[in-house]
A and B are shown apart, each in its own frame.
Chain A
């Protein structure tokens, strides 16, 4: 398994953990209190930064434990890695474009910021998750 494939899998796991944590912190409060009282901003920022820190930490640990692959990939680059990345980004970009529309409609309809912010956050998270899954499949199955 290549260095980049390992990073991708750790990013996928990290995103799943972040979404689960966010859901437990914010979405679980739905129904218990009015949405305008739910403090989601801080949790959302922690979730985003948490994912970045998780991926960077994983990249460092994988790099230390798998320095042979890292050195090889850093020296040579790889067309297959680039193609896998491009395909996942293309699909992710299209999906994100579609998922942003509901958030735009919510804004036009003056829906509460809680729903708009969460629609945008989930759009980004789902898109990233989808890209990680596509890359994981392409690395294993080929394309």
Chain B
């Protein structure tokens, strides 16, 4: 079991809603590797603010729609 970050995300749902965007396509748009998208999606890696904004921009939604930091 991986070490999960406290930050949760909705990337998987958003990819599904974005015409089932592949992880590879999202990675290409964001400018990271597919492995990094997988790690972020699974909560094993908290991306930098820059990458987080790029992910949100790829889905055309606000940052808080993609990432949450529960109390």
Interface residues of A (CB under 8 A from B): 1-2, 5, 69, 72-73, 76-81, 140-143
Contacts and interface: CB of A to CB of B under 8 A. Distances in A.
A141 B33 contact: no
Majority SS of interface residues in chain B?
loop
Given A2-B35, A79-B48, A142-B4, 14 more contacts: A69-B33, A72-B24, A76-B27, A76-B33, A79-B47, A80-B33, A80-B35, A141-B3, A142-B2, A142-B5, A142-B39, A142-B43, A142-B44, A143-B45
A73 B44 CA distance: 19
Interface string B23-63: 01001100111111001001111011001000000000000
A102 to B, nearest CB: 33
Q: What interface size band does chain B fall in?
A: 20 to 34
Contacts of A77: 31
A80 B3 contact: no
A119 B36 CA distance: 38
Contacts, number: 49
B36 to A, nearest CB: 4
Majority SS of interface residues in chain A?
helix
A69 B28 CA distance: 12
B31 A76 contact: yes
A80 B2 CA distance: 15
Nearest to B50: A79
A71 to B, nearest CB: 11
Contacts of A69: 33
B71 to A, nearest CB: 22
Contacts of A140: 2
12 contacts: A2-B35, A72-B27, A72-B33, A73-B33, A77-B31, A78-B32, A79-B48, A80-B35, A80-B45, A141-B44, A142-B42, A143-B3
